[in-house]
Amino acid sequence: MSSNLWKSKLGFILAASGSAIGLGNIWKFPYMTSQYGGGAFLFLYLFCVIVIGYPLLVGEVLIGRSSRKSPLHAYESKNMFWRLPGIAAFIATFIVMSYYMVIAGWSLKYLVATITGSLQFGLENNSDYSDFFTNLLGSYSSLLLYTFLFFILTMYFVIKGINSGIEKLNTYAMPLLFIILIVLAVRAVTLEGGLEAVEYLFKLDFSKINTTVIIAALGQSFFSLSIGSGAIIIYATYLNGKENILKSSTYTAGLDTLVGILAALIVIPIVFSFGHDLSQGPGLTFVTLPYMFGNMVGGFIFAILFFALLVVAALTSTVALLEVTSAICRDAVKNKLTRNQSIVVVSVSTFALSLLQMGSFNVLGGFTMFGGMTIFDVTDYLASNILLPLGGLATALYVGYIMPKHKVIQELQSEGTTNVGVKTMLYLMTTLKYFAPVVVIMVMLSITGLVKF
Ligand code: PHE
């Protein structure tokens, strides 16, 4: 692998948070929270992050930094079984990238349409905005154009390299993202009805918890933290040996969770204050919000800020997806491709799959499987609910059982610069050895319908 390291002390934290924070937080998290019962979902989500997500994040940073290899060979073992997590990570990131670019393209389209005025604000009713969204989804050529632009933008930063491309992008993008988020959240919470939304978000109603909500919360925590995708492993290969792994992981998981909550604090109050219902699902961001922006003071500016936020957040994630997929590809062909060749090969192949993804909103919309799921639905389900959790399971088993314990401790001590307490080790090892595997396996069994809980 490359001997490149993050230049700044914050380089890894910013890049890992950039990978983690994305459409998953700003587009998916608010609508999932509202669909799955507000506080109940938030509670389960936090639970999953603390007892499964965080330890796995530490595990992936550990694997990446100690091996300094792509996920294909980072699980160091002669047993070929350990090539599987890398292969799963490749398939997952390839698939995720193919549809993620399409949604990132919608965000770019909305940003451009807001600035140029082709998305008009202040229209009479919600259906005008849903027409705009439906027209976008129905127009293959628009989707093609904006998805293509997003691919080019992503390739530009990845080709520029680890320091001058990815690190630089994240150094500017992440602070910008936080500023926009805070401005928007303050505006949203102070709207009439804002406090009611806060209450909805934090009020725990245990009766809303069931297996579907648990699966959704677990899948979302993996997707959001980029666990099982190899992205964290790859970024950790560029991490200086002296940096504190526990601290870096805490920041990454903490910032990612904070952004999800802030995004929900933006979207839900806006919807509440206009008396709309929250059951919109994916359309919440692209239909309900533009309507609301059009009807609030300064809405035009807030709309630009919001869609800029989506684009920036998406870009720091697509960059991570392309970096990991092309690194695995290069490793798989034993470095016969150069870094740039591999980036181009992976981008072109993913774009080919994106062509099908775009079709699932229009020409291929009638082509459904498993009881009405489009290609888009099936691939999202396969990646978020099956492949990423399996990747996470592999990490838990590898660090918990395969990696020698002294190596784990040594790596966590970061060349002797960090003290790792007994309690921390106990928490990490118990969650990685027992808790995470049991929960992931139970969720898998329940998804496949083999066992009903
Ligand atoms: N974590 C990103 C999000 O929440 C998506 C992602 C998944 C990015 C896997 C990289 C790898 O949007």
Q: Which pLDDT tens digit goes with each residue over 173-209?
A: 999 999 999 998 988 888 887 888 888 888 888 888 8
Ligand 1, residue 92: give the atom nearest the CA.
9
Atom 11 of ligand 1: nearest residue by CA position: 226
pLDDT score of 361: 82
pLDDT at residue 125 greater than cutoff 70:
no
Higher pLDDT among residues 237 and 35, named by residue: 237
DSSP one-letter string for 304-361: HHHHHHHHHHHHHHHHHHHHHHHHHHHHHTTT-S-HHHHHHHHHHHHHHHHHHHHHTT
Query: In this predicted structure, what is the pLDDT of residue 408?
Result: 95
Cβ-contact 94, 290 below 8 angstroms: no
CB 220 within 8 A of CB 28: yes
Amino acid 1: pLDDT = 46
More confident of the two residues 346 and 209: 346
Task: Report whether pLDDT(124) > 70.
Answer: no
pLDDT, tens digit (0-9, with 9 covering 90-100), for 377-415 = 889 888 988 899 999 999 999 999 999 999 999 999 999
Pocket test for ligand 1, best of 45, 56, 57, 96 (most atoms within 8 A of CB): 96
| CB contact at 8 A, 117 and 303 | no
Confidence of residue 160 (pLDDT cuts 50, 70, 90): very high
Q: Relative to the CA of 388, which ligand 1 atom is closest? A: 9
Tens digit of pLDDT for each residue in 74-107? 999 999 999 999 999 999 999 999 999 999 999 9
Choose which residue among 100, 154, 174 to substitute to test ligand 1 binding: the one with the highest number of ligand atoms within 8 A of its C-beta: 100
As a whole number of angstroms, the distance between CA 420 and CA 41 comes to 32
d(CA 60, ligand 1 centre) in Å: 15
The residues lining ligand 1, judged by C-beta closer than 6 Å to any ligand atom, are 19-20, 22-25, 93, 96, 223-224, 226, 229, 231, 317, 320-321
Reported pTM: 0.93
Counting atoms of ligand 1 from 1, which one is nearest the CA of 22?
Answer: 12
CA-wise closest residue to 291 among 143, 125, 134, 158? 125
Q: What is the mean pLDDT of the chain?
A: 91
Asked whether the beta carbons of 32 and 48 are under 8 A apart, the reply is no
Tokens 């390739």 — which residue?
Answer: 155
N residues, the chain: 453
* Confidence check: pLDDT of 280 > 70: no
User: 29, 174, 223, 316: which to mutate for ligand 1, most atoms within 8 A of CB?
Assistant: 223
pLDDT of residue 96: 96
Where do the DSSP E strands lie in 30-162?
Answer: none
d(CA 362, CA 32): 24
**Structure confidence at residue 123 as a pLDDT band (50, 70, 90):** low
Distance 224 CA to ligand 1 centre (A): 5
**CA distances (Å), origin 22, targets 83, 297, 390:** 28, 27, 21
C-alpha torsion sign, points 299, 303, 305, 309: positive
At 101 the pLDDT is 97
Handedness of CA 125, 357, 326, 339 (dihedral sign): negative
Best substitution site from 234, 256, 317 to test ligand 1's pocket, by max atoms within 8 Å of Cβ? 317
